[in-house]
Structure 1
Amino acid sequence: MDFVEIFQRLGVALAIGLLVGCERGWQERDEPSGGRTAGIRTFALSGLLGGLSGYLQTLTGPVMPTALLLLFGTAFVIFRRREAKEEGDYGVTTVVAAFVVFALGAMAVVGDLRLVAAGAVVTTALLAAKRSMHRFLQLLTWLEIRAALILLAMTLVALPLLPNETVDPWNVLDPFDLWLLTITIAAISFVGYVAIRVAGPSRGILFAGAAGGLVSSTALTLSFARFATKAPESARRLASGAAIAGALSLIRVLVIAGALAWSLLIPLAIALVPSTLVLVGASLMVIRGDDGKKGAPDLRLENPFELGEVLRFGALLGAVMLASKLLVERVGQTMLFVVAAVSGLMDVDAITLSTARLTGTAVDVTTAVAAILIAVVVNLLTKAVLAFTAGGKGPYAITLALATLASIAAGALAYFTLGSLVPASWLQPTD
């Protein structure tokens, strides 16, 4: 290690302390000078001290750095204890942060700078997210924590134990892949669920619709339909939220299909992107800028990580995969259209996953694209029918139905006019 590199690495150690110190100092910015254990200067010097201890290790071995760490830790704990007694605050976050800064400073000299930089950013982000994390914990229920723990155990503990090969006579169902796909979809849905739980529906109907589209656009459509019967004056704005949920569900289909079979991305985008834009445009036209005046209704969406929900989707996915493979092999590729139509009545994710996995082997790209689009159309129409069933023949159902029909028409027009322009090479399956 030459002289210039030593200076650079010590500079990184100092920068780490300054970064964390800025956050700590800002959190306690109203405290008088000398009224807190550590601020920006103390953390900056802690990082530099860690860097110097790392450099000393290269010269004297581990004894001197260890002694410095013990002295530093003892002094820091003593001063923090005195501060805690005066203020009645016995949190140890600042103490832990100081040790982390010292350790990162040492690593900056003797370790990989990329890892050190990442650790500094993550540390600062965790410290800055105190209020958001506490608010999130207050919103969590025991049932949600239990469900997440069960599924984490089943994924991290049970998943490696599952056979990673097909176990059925038809060579279709692989328990490892089936469970992995199921958990992945649940995780995507959980993102929207957390967004609604943390931000709340008070952020507005469009926000609730977008987040609900990641959880379940069908459930959100029903929830909004029931609320529209109780608040007719909000019916059109609720329809705009349901349209946004439908648009997010189309983007979700595109992402899932493209991730599993890259050759599906462009052909599907030709139809789904115009459909999505129409739904978003219709929603924005209806909302007319007054979404912020009234919040969305309280959404009763089920936790996507609830074990029962995950197992039901896993069973549906397994059934769709089995039916798709058997019918395609024994009857022909066109039978995939029937499976897609039936599956679209309940869920579009299962048929999207199943079809994407068959692309390039049992079915060609053109057939796969058509099957997924059939499921999407059936699913969109099903939600429009449910809006009439649950919300009556009022503005909510009519507005959503018109937006849905316009979306389907735009997608069909783009698919049949522009689909033929896609180069044949783009329709070839890729590894």
Structure 2
Amino acid sequence: MAMDWNAAPTGLATALGIGLLIGAVRERQHAERIGMAGVRTHTLLALAGALAAGFGTATLLVTLLAVALLGLASYRISRERDPGLTGEVAMLVTVLLGALAQQAHALAAALGVVVAILLWAKAPLRRLSRDLISETEMQDGLVLAAAALVVLPLLPDEPVDPWGVLQLSMLWRIVVLIMAVGMLGHVAGRAVGTRRGLPVAGFFSGFASSTAAVVSFGQRGRKHPAMQRPAAAAALLANLASLLLLVAVVGTVSPALALAAAWPMAAAAAGLLLVAATGLLRSTETGDPQGDSSARAFHLTHAMLIALLIALVMLLSEVLLRLFGEAGAMLGAAIAALAELHAAGATIARLASLGEISPVEARWALVALLASTTLAKTLLAFTSGGAGYGWRVGFGLVLMTVAAAVTTAFTTY
């Protein structure tokens, strides 16, 4: 069906702008190449696409075929000195964007800008893919993309167990969340390089395992006594990352609880950050270098293990709920927090989302989880790093819990 030509000027103007933009980028990047499609060619191609779309699908297909034949002829002439296909593909994309401008001019304009950026960023993108990203990082990126874009949409939203507890899509979202946070942390660490050292290592290791970070930095501080203060600060930053991940996990299961607990969690984070910053300011140690491209951005097995623990804790909580009521379920979560904070947090969030516990009870339950993990990690800090390290880490963790408790007591949701 032919379009209303009275409404065509907006689409034609958008197509004109798209062609000028893409053509200008192509011409500036290949000014030395004779016969290359530049500003005039791409502008005409975009206008041809817009006009062809106005005459109907058959005309647009004929136009695309004609441009494809022209691109093939151009490639046969230039392939010896320029074997790439970017220019020929850009011609077809310009026609399609011109056609799209007649139906959705805002979307076409946005895509035109994206295409222009991609064409302009040839050298940076080549350096990124060939030099900056390692083979390991590429593999991790593909795994993350597959988990988020392939596996997650296939999982059902309905519970798969007789008790209505285990929702596969929710559990896998947590897996994707953990991997995505690990990837973000790895990229940030690579970008920072050696200039930040131990604090960066501490913070981003907390997204993987704050418990392991406490032990690891404690052993480092025991081996090098001069590093006890920055090692303790790094361990507290790891727990800050773990706290942020807890908020994200709770928000995945129960957005309402995450909102209700925003102020207590913010106060807990501020307590950790205050003690960590004090330790770093009083230290002259520069820390260890970062930016290892061979390191894994995340461990899929670790993310899946956390999801499995969350599922097990949810099932245990459901059993305790049926046997002893809500008090039993929260006690089970508090015990689980000794080993895995995020699994316990997901359990509390689930109870809150189902209405088994009130928002006030859920907020205090999260404080109880922080108290439980504080106890466990403080003991680990004394065991792994000695008294000096243990007191510093323990003080930061206790301040985290006290800040959350005081804020919970004096704020409403």
Normalised by the shorter chain, which TM-score bucket?
0.7 to 0.9
1:351 aligns with 2:344: yes
Give a deviation string over 1:277-321, Cα, whole Å, max 9, x none. Answer: 122233333333999955546889876452x33442232112111
Give a deviation string over 1:121-163, Cα, whole Å, max 9, x none. Answer: 4445555361334445425268747865885798258x44x69
Give a deviation string over 1:226-256, Cα, whole Å, max 9, x none. Answer: 3334444343233333322322322332333
Tell me the TM-score normalised to structure 2 length: 0.79
Structure 2 match to 1:180: 172
Q: What is the CA-CA distance between 1:7 and the residue it aligns to?
A: 3.8
Structure 1 match to 2:79: 81
Q: 1:147 to 1:96 in 2, by over 3 A?
A: same
Equivalent positions of 1:99-248 (< 5 A) are 99-109=92-102, 111-124=103-116, 126=118, 128=121, 130=125, 131-135=127-131, 137-140=133-136, 144=140, 151=147, 155=151, 159-160=154-155, 164-168=158-162, 171-174=163-166, 176-177=168-169, 179-195=171-187, 198-199=190-191, 202-204=194-196, 205-248=198-241
In the alignment, the residues of structure 1 paired with residue 116 and residue 213 of structure 2 have an alpha-carbon distance, to the nearest angstrom, of: 36
Query: What is the SS of the residue equivalent to 2:38?
Result: helix
Code of the residue aligned with 1:333 in structure 2: it is E
Q: What is the CA-CA distance between 1:96 and the residue it aligns to?
A: 3.4
Q: 1:20 to 1:231 in 2, by over 3 A?
A: farther
Structure 1 match to 2:50: 54
Code of the residue aligned with 1:187 in structure 2: it is M
Q: 1:142 to 1:122 in 2, by over 3 A?
A: closer
Q: Is the 8 A contact 1:165 1:174 kept in 2?
A: yes
Structure 2 match to 1:361: 355
In the alignment, the residues of structure 2 paired with residue 188 and residue 149 of structure 1 have an alpha-carbon distance, to the nearest angstrom, of: 9
Structure 2 match to 1:382: 376
Structure 1 match to 2:15: 13
In the alignment, the residues of structure 2 paired with residue 97 and residue 245 of structure 1 have an alpha-carbon distance, to the nearest angstrom, of: 46
Code of the residue aligned with 2:194 in structure 1: it is S
In the alignment, the residues of structure 1 paired with residue 222 and residue 117 of structure 2 have an alpha-carbon distance, to the nearest angstrom, of: 44
What is the aligned residue count? 402
In the alignment, the residues of structure 2 paired with residue 146 and residue 4 of structure 1 have an alpha-carbon distance, to the nearest angstrom, of: 47
Q: Is the 8 A contact 1:15 1:44 kept in 2?
A: no
5+ long unaligned stretches in structure 2:
none
Equivalent positions of 1:30-49 (< 5 A) are 33-35=31-33, 42=38, 45-49=41-45
Q: Is the 8 A contact 1:10 1:48 kept in 2?
A: no
Query: What is the SS of the residue equivalent to 1:244?
Result: helix
Code of the residue aligned with 2:355 in structure 1: it is T
CA RMSD of the aligned region, Å? Answer: 3.8
5+ long unaligned stretches in structure 1:
85-89, 427-431
Structure 1 match to 2:364: 370
Q: What is the CA-CA distance between 1:325 and the residue it aligns to?
A: 1.5
Q: What is the CA-CA distance between 1:115 and the residue it aligns to?
A: 3.4
Code of the residue aligned with 1:11 in structure 2: it is A
Q: What is the CA-CA distance between 1:340 and the residue it aligns to?
A: 2.2
Q: What is the CA-CA distance between 1:410 and the residue it aligns to?
A: 2.0
Q: Is the 8 A contact 1:340 1:351 kept in 2?
A: yes
Query: What is the SS of the residue equivalent to 2:332?
Result: helix
Which segment is superposed worse, 184-193 or 344-353? Answer: 184-193
Structure 2 match to 1:429: none
Q: What is the CA-CA distance between 1:188 and the residue it aligns to?
A: 4.0
Q: 1:335 to 1:287 in 2, by over 3 A?
A: same
In the alignment, the residues of structure 1 paired with residue 53 and residue 73 of structure 2 have an alpha-carbon distance, to the nearest angstrom, of: 21
